Chain A
C-alpha cells in the first residue's frame, strides 16, 4: 500500500473546510497568515487567509465571480491580452519578497513581506474596480490602509508624492523584454491621496492569498481611480517632491493623466467613460463620479478643474 494513500475518513468534509476561517481564533493566527501569504506559490485557488476583519461595509453591488477577476485583466508584464496574465503569471516568484522604501524619507528601509504583514490586522474591503477601458468588477480585497506604512518610516518635509514601483524582472515577466511600456511600471499618487483611508495595500482577495495574475504578493488598490493606477507586485515605494511621470502618462500623455479619477463626464479621447460593463454582464451601467466614492474623496480635489486634471 503506497504511503501517500488517503483514507476516506481522513478527508476533511467540505463544510468544515469552508468554516476553517471561523474556526481559527486568536491573535496568533495573524502571524500564520503572514507565513501563508509569503509561502504561497500554488497555481490553484490560493491559501485562505485567517482572521480577516470584516468591519468595512461592502457596497450593495454583487461581488464579481472569482474566475472572471482571475482570468480577465491587464498586467502587461505578462502580456498585452486580457487573458495573458492568467496564462503567464505562473512564473512569478512571490517568495522571498521585500519592498524598499526610498526617496524623501529620513532613513531608507527595506522590509521583508513577512515583516509588513505583522504591522496591523488584515481587513476585507469590497471595492468597485473600474478599468479605463470600460469594464468593471466588484472585488473583495484583503489588505490594510497604505497609511499604516507611515508608522514605520519617517518622511522628510519634501515628500509630496508617492511612487509605486512594480517588479520588472524579464526572467519572471516575459513581456518586460518588449517595449510595450517604459519599464518598470511606475504609478504615483499625491501624498494626501495615498494617505486616504480608502487607499489600500492589498495582499489577498476573496479571503485568499493574492493570485499572481492579480498582483501578488502585494499591490496597491485605489478604488476611486481607474484600475491602472493600482500598481501590482510592488517592490519599491518612493516618496518624491515633484509630480512623477507615470508609465501610462509616458505611453499616452493626452489619453492618461496623472489623476485618472473615475469620471463619467470626461471621455477618453477614443471612447466615452459615461458607462461601463461589469464582468459577466451583458448590458452597460452608468459610471459613477469617483467610481461611487465621491462622498469620501471629492474633497481632495476641491477647486481643481477635473477636465484639465484628468
Chain B
C-alpha cells in the first residue's frame, strides 16, 4: 500500500481532525457549561489521558512501519508527536492555572514535594525541545544524527509519563496505568529486539587468546 501525495495529504487532514476530537469534547462541555461536579479534575484527567494516548500512538508508528513496510507511516509521526505536546500543554496549563493560580512559588513547591508532579513536570520539560525541533529547518540545522539522538528522549518521556500516572492514581484504580505500562513495554521491547536483530554480528577472532585475569586459576 502506497498512497500518492494527494491521498497522503487527505489522510493527514483526516488525522488532524480526529486528533482534535478530544479538544472538541472540552469545547462541548464549555458550551454546555457542564464539566461535571469537579470541572478541574475532569479537565486534568481528560487532557492527561489524551496526552498519554497520543504518546502511545506516536510510538506505534515505527513498529507498525517495520511490520507492514508502509514507510509512508513516518509522515504521520510528527503530527501525532505534536498533538501529544499540545494535550500535554493543556494538561500543564490546567495544573499551573487551576491548581496554583499561576503562582510560581506554589508551583515550584508542588513540583518538589509530590513525586508524581516532579515526574510529570520533568516529562513536560523534556518534551519542549522535541516540540521546538519538530520542523524541517531544525532537522537540517542539527543534522539527522543529532536530531535523532535528541528525539530518542521520547522513550524517557514515555516512561516518565507512565510513572506519573502510576504514582497519582489510588491503589484501586491501578488497572489503567498497568495497561499503559504493558503497552509501553511492548512498544519499547520491540525496538530493543529490532536493535539486537539488526546489530552487525562481530566475528569471534579465533586467534585471540582469552584474557588472563588470574595468574593462577582460582579453585
Residues of A within 8 A of B (CB): 65, 67-69, 71-72, 80-82, 135, 180, 270-271, 277, 279-284
Residues of B contacting A65 in the complex (Cβ-Cβ under 8 angstroms): 37
Residues of A contacting B200 in the complex (Cβ-Cβ under 8 angstroms): none
A80-B170, A270-B114 in contact; A68/B37 too (CB < 8 A)?
yes
Give A115 to B92 CA distance when docked, in angstroms: 55
Out of A80, A82, A280, name the residue touching B39 (CB < 8 Å): A280
A72 x B37 contact (CB < 8 A) = yes
Residues of B contacting A280 in the complex (Cβ-Cβ under 8 angstroms): 37-39
Q: Mark B31-55, 1 if CB is under 8 A from A, else 0.
A: 0000011111100000000000000
Give A281 to B99 CA distance when docked, in angstroms: 12
Give A281 to B41 CA distance when docked, in angstroms: 11
Give A39 to B189 CA distance when docked, in angstroms: 59
Residues of B within 8 A of A (CB): 36-41, 98-99, 101, 114, 170, 172-173
Residues of A contacting B170 in the complex (Cβ-Cβ under 8 angstroms): 80
B172 x A80 contact (CB < 8 A) = yes
Give A80 to B41 CA distance when docked, in angstroms: 16
Residues of A contacting B172 in the complex (Cβ-Cβ under 8 angstroms): 80-81, 180
A248 CB to nearest chain B CB (Å): 13
Residues of B contacting A72 in the complex (Cβ-Cβ under 8 angstroms): 36-38
Give A13 to B181 CA distance when docked, in angstroms: 57
B37 x A282 contact (CB < 8 A) = no
Out of A80, A82, A271, A283, name the residue touching B38 (CB < 8 Å): A82
User: With A68-B37, A71-B36, A72-B36 given, can you name 4 additional A-B contacts, CB distance below 8 Å?
Assistant: A72-B38, A270-B114, A283-B98, A284-B98
Give A67 to B36 CA distance when docked, in angstroms: 9
B37 x A67 contact (CB < 8 A) = yes
Residues of B contacting A180 in the complex (Cβ-Cβ under 8 angstroms): 172
A277 x B114 contact (CB < 8 A) = no
A81 x B36 contact (CB < 8 A) = no
B38 x A135 contact (CB < 8 A) = yes
Out of B98, B101, B173, name the residue touching A81 (CB < 8 Å): B173
Give A277 to B42 CA distance when docked, in angstroms: 13
Give A67 to B39 CA distance when docked, in angstroms: 13
Give A286 to B145 CA distance when docked, in angstroms: 52
B120 CB to nearest chain A CB (Å): 15
A270-B114, A271-B114 in contact; A282/B173 too (CB < 8 A)?
no
Give A135 to B41 CA distance when docked, in angstroms: 10
Which 10 pairs, one residue from A and one from B, show the smallest C-beta to C-beta distance?
Answer: A72-B37, A80-B172, A68-B37, A279-B37, A282-B39, A282-B98, A71-B37, A282-B40, A135-B38, A72-B38
A58 CB to nearest chain B CB (Å): 21
Give A135 to B44 CA distance when docked, in angstroms: 15
A214 CB to nearest chain B CB (Å): 13
Give A170 to B40 CA distance when docked, in angstroms: 33
Residues of B contacting A80 in the complex (Cβ-Cβ under 8 angstroms): 170, 172-173
Out of B36, B101, B114, B173, name the residue touching A283 (CB < 8 Å): B101
Residues of B contacting A68 in the complex (Cβ-Cβ under 8 angstroms): 37
Q: In the complex, what residue of chain B is closest to A277 when comparing beta carbons?
A: B40
Give A280 to B173 CA distance when docked, in angstroms: 24
Residues of B contacting A69 in the complex (Cβ-Cβ under 8 angstroms): 37
The interface centre, meaning the residue of B37, B101, B170 with most chain A CB atoms within 10 A of its CB, is B37
B175 CB to nearest chain A CB (Å): 11
